[in-house]
Structure 1
Amino acid sequence: MVRKGEIHRKTGETEIKVNMNLDGEGIGRINTPIPFLNHMLELFAKHSLFDLELTASGDVEVDFHHTVEDIGICLGKAFNKALGDKKGIKRFCSAFIPMDEALILLAADISGRPFLKYDVNIPAERVGNFDTELVEEFFRAFVNSGNFTLHVRLIEGKNAHHIIEAVFKALGRVLSGAVELDSRIKGVPSTKGIL
């Protein structure tokens, strides 16, 4: 079974192409006009072990909002497409992930029901030229298009870069665990028979 998703989305504001392989080696080839987001998505690929190719262009002269949100939408669609029928996946995963003084709790349920609980108060409005409020916008778009439940909570942390980096590393680790195949699971892990 090949678990890959490919998405190409073009709007009046952005153009994004995504190729995602859930059974990869953590190779990230990311090219967007937002260097900080490139770094975070490379971390996500590395720690998820998903192979991720992503190119994006957008109206960043306005601000980064449209591009960040649309990248989240496309990643969610590629992730959902790659999951296919979801047979044999573990479905749930959670982790505490540190980054120096920052500590993040992240938990996921590949439920087929989009829901985000984001409780991360980042103590700076910007990291470089990246608006930190866009992290939540990215996660909301990813979750809604990916059709899964995600809880993200900041336990400790003072450095905005460390907090955001821990969040993206945690996302990779947790989604990797949730989509891991287990030969003992017959069909989908739900008493309803569907996810």
Structure 2
Amino acid sequence: MAVMGRTSTVHRKTSETDITVTLSLDSPASATSATGHGFLDHMLDALARHGRLGLGVQATGDLHTGPHHLVEDVGITLGQALHQALGDRRGIERYGSAFVPMDETLAHVVLDLSGRAHLAFEPERLDVWGDVGGMTHYHLREFLRGLCNHAGITLHVRLLAGREAHHVIEAVVKALARALRDAVRITSDDLASTKGLL
């Protein structure tokens, strides 16, 4: 089972944001995030560390209007980079699942690198309060929606305990990272699909 250089670089520019993402699925965990939003940088660093990814994100955005455009567009660009780095997805484990606690919070993330985009985001139905530098769990939802749509991920996010936004967002991101770490692993020479295509 040979692991090829599963890397990518994606640049995406709109009238609202300018983002470059570099991604390596097989290099040691490293992160260089500079988005202008401290908590988003912290979450991207956590994604790299717990997902054992080489991840670089350089971004600017219209933060004077709030973090929505920046957070969503980083998710989109990361999704595009992940899609490219996965290539034809041959040999990947495909599925991943992780529970992550953070104090009173417990998050569960299950994903399938199926090539089909779907997001089930349970925290939006719950009473999650607060924000971190203006970023709420709704911004996390938009980040994940962009990631799923552009990487072709089926993603289920469950919040089993917790109400404070900081802990909820961080636990979800760390659970995503650990589930993704498992799903991208090369474990065979075949496609994990009866269709012969992912």
Give TM-score, length-normalised by structure 1. 0.95
- CA-atom RMSD, angstroms? 1.1
Aligned to 1:80: 83
1:49-88 equivalences under 5 Å are 49-88=52-91
Q: Does 1:189 align with 2:192?
A: yes
Q: Show structure 2 runs of 5+ residues with no match.
A: none
Residue from 141, 144, 147 that aligns with 1:142 = 147
State the 1:157 CA deviation. 1.0
CA shift digits 1:19-49 (9 cap, x unpaired) = 0000122211000011111101100100000
Identity percentage of aligned residues:
45
CA shift digits 1:2-25 (9 cap, x unpaired) = 000110011111100000000122
Aligned to 1:118: 121
Q: Show structure 1 runs of 5+ residues with no match.
A: none
The 1-side partners of 2:193 and 2:135 are apart by: 40
The 1-side partners of 2:75 and 2:27 are apart by: 20
Aligned to 1:95: 98
One-letter code of the match for 2:106? Answer: L
CA shift digits 1:162-190 (9 cap, x unpaired) = 111110101110001001011xx332100
Judging changes above 3 Å, is the alpha-carbon distance between structure 1 residues 137 and 41 closer, same or farther for their aligned structure 2 residues? Answer: same
Q: Does 1:45 align with 2:48?
A: yes
State the 1:59 CA deviation. 1.0
Q: Does 1:175 align with 2:180?
A: yes
Aligned to 2:23: 20
Q: Please tell me whether the aligned partners of residues 122 and 132 of structure 1 are also in contact (alpha carbons under 8 angstroms).
A: no
Judging changes above 3 Å, is the alpha-carbon distance between structure 1 residues 180 and 122 closer, same or farther for their aligned structure 2 residues? Answer: farther
Runs of 4+ in 1 over 3 A off after TM superposition: none
Q: Please tell me whether the aligned partners of residues 122 and 160 of structure 1 are also in contact (alpha carbons under 8 angstroms).
A: no
